[in-house]
Chain A
Amino acid sequence: MSVATAEPRPRQHAARRPAGSTLTGTGTMIRFILRRDRVRLPIWIGAIVLSVVGSLPTFTETYPTAADRQARADLLDNPATVALTGPGYGTDGDDYTFGAMTANELLLWVAIAMALMSILLMVRHTRAEEETGRTELLRAGVLGRHAGTTAAFTVVAGANLLIGLLLGLLMPGALDELSMSSSLLFGAAVASVGLVFTGVGALAAQVTEHARAATGIGAAALGVAFALRAIGDVGAEALSWLSPIGWAQRTKVYVDDRWWPLLISAALTALLMAAAYATTSRRDVGAGLVQPRPGSPRAGKDLASPLGLAVRLQRGGLLGWGVGLLVFGIAYGSLAPSIEEFVSDNSTLQDFLGDAGSLIDGFMAMVMMMMALLAAAYGLSSMLRLRGEETSGRAEPVLATAVSRTRLAASHLTVALGGSLVLMLAGGLGLGVMAAITLEDGGMVGKMLGAAVAHLVGIWLVVAIVVALFGWAPQLVALGWVVLTYGVVVGVLGGFFQFPDWVTKISPFHAASSLPGGDLGTVAVVIMGVLAVALIWIGLLGFRRRDLTTT
């Protein structure tokens, strides 16, 4: 036997070819994502940048004198407002700058918008692709295991940084008082929140098999981040230091300009991405961390109608939202005593307000408004499930049985309307019970539940708009989100921007906005109710008359 031939030799062609890594193909994937989102990305970036930059010039009109600004600053300095928007920096003294105003009033909302953008886009380009099976097709080609996640992260992180940069460059031009260096920090601060939630989205996409659930996990994380800073800002500040939004606010941008809190965000983003990569290396394509369990071989009694199906499909989501709103209510209800204390400690305010009651009512009304917006977001997404069933082809076999179009649509409509009722009751109950305990005032429960119910017609109107779109222009159903966004901007930022009356009043969430404490806009409620019924009727009529679309 020859010794020389026993020596193994590396095969020549293998050595010549690039070995490839888990990142092979990332560049191609980045271009692919940019191509797919060539409309979506500019819309997100443009909408966020333009709404911030566009709103800045109004500051000088709404708050022309130092005294006007100081009056606004004084309004911020109470636990009710702090819980909603964050700690007010630079409000002491007698020079409340436009910069401090921008940071105190806008930073939180811009950060939330960017966090939402990041979660949605990240899940869209990772888990959603995997769920449809398209990832499998790509991974069968020359594509590294981490290329997809890396490309999605690059694009979404890039979008966040671009928004931050554009804000930094454009904000000084829109409002002279804002310096370039501080504005860049503002941009970096909101981008840092977006980056953290890009990481959250990447990790959430690893945990579950379903894109919808991944988005839900991301949104829940955002809710936790919001609640932590709310409770922390009012009292236990340590909690705010657990929240990415808290870090962004603690840059004290335009007042102290501290960059270092953003290092924590950067570190957390890196950690989240590392966790996402580690998970990708361990799991199968298409699988999540949670393995699906076998189901029942027979359907239960409730699964015998389109409504039974709609409930079955949506009950998990409704449960998640319900727990979320309940916790949200409890968290904010627990803040009520801080407001009471604040007023009794402050004799000038006491003379002005009479007692703590009206400040608490105002606070509760604001919390109710946010709950209503959340419940409407649920109602919207729940109604959009019907469109999802249609485009996925799952509505087709159902409609080929003895189920009419109207019955199928009505089943999802019932879940959307009933689900938003459940959510408002859960949130109102959490808020009311917690406020009743902490304030020792049993009447709070009834008051909050009443306010919760009063908001329903407005919420249902948003759902009704989606039904009408679904019937007549199904490809435009997503416009429902525009209506909701309008409600958010007007409802949450209206106090600051002082919009013209009619702008505020056409929001579906205006009629019940002063409850508890104030009066319900009865006429508006009746009009909205009639409008909602009409839109639903028109929508169902349209669905009966149009072709079913399947992609």
Chain B
Amino acid sequence: MTPAIDVAGVVKTFGTVRALDGLDLRVSTGEVHGFLGPNGAGKSTTIRVLLGLLRADSGTVRLLGGDPWGDAVALHRRLAYVPGDVNLWPNLSGGEAIDLLGRLRGGLDEKRREDLLERFDLDPTKKGRTYSKGNRQKVALVAALASDVELLILDEPTSGLDPLMEAVFNEVIDEWKDDGKTVLLSSHILTEVEKLCDRVSIIRTGRIVESGTLAELRHLTRTAIAAETTRPVTGLDGLPGVHDLVTEGDRVRFSVDTAQLDGAVRHLSGFGIQTLTSQPPTLEELFLRHYGDELAAAEVGASS
């Protein structure tokens, strides 16, 4: 089956800024794909290239089997998009904006529209400017989710939503997933991505630095272990993949590469395990590993 999104070696420059620097991104049909990266890493630029709003300088971009620049109109009938920063027409009500965007795409599912308005608790009679940031986002979400499309492209869709609405959003995306539809979800909220996504790609300064299923990515991280044993543990520092070892009498703390977890626990059991806690690796840890130095240097990447 052709992947929903297939991007290879895409470069996009704005003046002297290299916003995308050889980006590869592959999203299979039917998966919810998390697109992670800090502000300015190139998430929005990638999405705009995928939508044919920006033209890639080089590289290949395939979307739903077509060329997003050349076949924009035909492809856009099959996808819906929620921008990160929703700006509505000041003199149009939210309901009108929803209908307009839906009709321009080729029609809305009336029942879903009603259902979503209720679930997101959105008043469709307010005018564009009187909506709060979160409510503007809901307008764009309802317009996108009420349409019958194969692919959903969401650019930080929950950045203005309250926790209650975030939960509703998660529910709705789960329903989409159950229908076998594809979602590209750009975000910097790790828990959201962990909850919703099958696969994750991490972008940094215009390049994908990690990509894979959550399980695969967890493999790249370390599990934190703390244990009490009947006899003091020795020889742990000789094992491969063990880091940050601290031994205090019969207590031991260390982190271990997830791939070497089995060996480390096997070694521990030889000393009589009394208590054992293990902290599973989080995306956050992975994220920080890739961005830690960047956070420290507060490096400013390409504008998104």
Q: Show the binding face of A for B, using Cβ within 8 Å.
A: 131, 209-210, 292-300, 303-306, 308-309, 312-313, 316, 392-394, 396-405, 545-548
Tell me the minimal C-beta distance from A159 to chain B in angstroms.
Answer: 29
Residue of B nearest to A312 (CB): B92
Query: Is A296's CB under 8 angstroms from B96's CB?
Result: yes
Offer 9 A-B interface pairs, CB within 8 angstroms, sorted by A: A131-B129, A296-B96, A296-B125, A300-B96, A316-B91, A393-B83, A397-B83, A401-B101, A401-B104
Which of chain B's residues have a CB closer than 8 A to the CB of A545?
A: 55
Query: Is B127's CB under 8 angstroms from A292's CB?
Result: yes
Convert B62-106 into 0s and 1s, putting 1 for each residue whose CB lies closer than 8 angstroms to a CB of A: 000000000011101101110101111111111111111101111
Query: Is A397's CB under 8 angstroms from B99's CB?
Result: no
Query: Is A294's CB under 8 angstroms from B93's CB?
Result: yes
- Which 8 A-B pairs have CB atoms at the shortest separation, nearest pair first? A295-B93, A299-B99, A401-B104, A400-B81, A297-B95, A294-B125, A299-B96, A401-B105
Residue of A nearest to B98 (CB): A299
Query: Is B101's CB under 8 angstroms from A398's CB?
Result: yes
Known: A294-B126, A296-B93. A404 touches B73 (CB 8 A): yes
Query: Is B101's CB under 8 angstroms from A397's CB?
Result: yes
Which of chain B's residues have a CB closer than 8 A to the CB of A393?
A: 83, 85, 87
Which of chain A's residues have a CB closer than 8 A to the CB of B143?
A: 397
Residue of A nearest to B75 (CB): A402
Query: Is A402's CB under 8 angstroms from B105's CB?
Result: yes
Known: A401-B101, A402-B106. A548 touches B91 (CB 8 A): no
Known: A296-B96, A393-B83. A398 touches B104 (CB 8 A): yes
Q: Show the binding face of B for A, using Cβ within 8 Å.
A: 48, 51-55, 72-74, 76-77, 79-81, 83, 85-101, 103-106, 124-127, 129-130, 140, 143, 153
Tell me the minimal C-beta distance from A212 to chain B in angstroms.
Answer: 9
Residue of A nearest to B12 (CB): A547
Residue of A nearest to B103 (CB): A304
Interface of A is mostly: loop
Residue of A nearest to B124 (CB): A297
Query: Is B99's CB under 8 angstroms from A298's CB?
Result: yes
Query: Is A403's CB under 8 angstroms from B104's CB?
Result: yes
Tell me the minimal C-beta distance from B78 to chain A in angstroms.
Answer: 9
Residue of B nearest to A308 (CB): B100
Besides the known contacts A296-B125, A298-B95, A396-B48, 19 further A-B residue pairs in the complex with CB atoms under 8 A apart: A293-B127, A294-B93, A294-B126, A295-B126, A295-B127, A297-B95, A298-B99, A299-B100, A305-B103, A309-B89, A393-B85, A394-B88, A394-B89, A396-B83, A399-B76, A400-B80, A400-B81, A402-B76, A545-B55
Cα distance A402–B80 in the bound complex, in angstroms: 10
Query: Is A397's CB under 8 angstroms from B93's CB?
Result: no
Cα distance A405–B53 in the bound complex, in angstroms: 9
Cα distance A308–B104 in the bound complex, in angstroms: 11
- Most B CB atoms within 10 A — which of A131, A295, A394? A295
Cα distance A374–B103 in the bound complex, in angstroms: 35
Which of chain A's residues have a CB closer than 8 A to the CB of B127?
A: 292-295
Query: Is A305's CB under 8 angstroms from B89's CB?
Result: no
Query: Is B100's CB under 8 angstroms from A304's CB?
Result: yes
Tell me which of B72, B76, B87, B96 contacts A303 (CB under 8 A): B96
Cα distance A209–B125 in the bound complex, in angstroms: 18
Residue of B nearest to A299 (CB): B99
Known: A292-B130, A548-B53. A297 touches B93 (CB 8 A): yes
Cα distance A546–B48 in the bound complex, in angstroms: 13
Which of chain A's residues have a CB closer than 8 A to the CB of B80?
A: 400
Tell me which of B55, B104, B153 contacts A305 (CB under 8 A): B104
Which of chain A's residues have a CB closer than 8 A to the CB of B83?
A: 393, 396-397, 400
Query: Is B93's CB under 8 angstroms from A303's CB?
Result: no
Query: Is B89's CB under 8 angstroms from A313's CB?
Result: yes
Query: Is A313's CB under 8 angstroms from B91's CB?
Result: yes
Which of chain B's residues have a CB closer than 8 A to the CB of A304?
A: 99-100, 103-104
Residue of A nearest to B106 (CB): A402
Cα distance A403–B91 in the bound complex, in angstroms: 21
Query: Is B104's CB under 8 angstroms from A210's CB?
Result: no
Which of chain A's residues have a CB closer than 8 A to the CB of B104?
A: 304-306, 398, 401-403
- Most A CB atoms within 10 A — which of B81, B90, B124, B143? B90
Known: A392-B87, A400-B76. A295 touches B53 (CB 8 A): no
Tell me which of A210, A295, A299, A399 contacts B51 (CB under 8 A): A399
Cα distance A305–B101 in the bound complex, in angstroms: 9
Which of chain B's residues have a CB closer than 8 A to the CB of A394?
A: 87-89
Cα distance A294–B93 in the bound complex, in angstroms: 7
Tell me the minimal C-beta distance from A433 to chain B in angstroms.
Answer: 32
Residue of A nearest to B53 (CB): A548
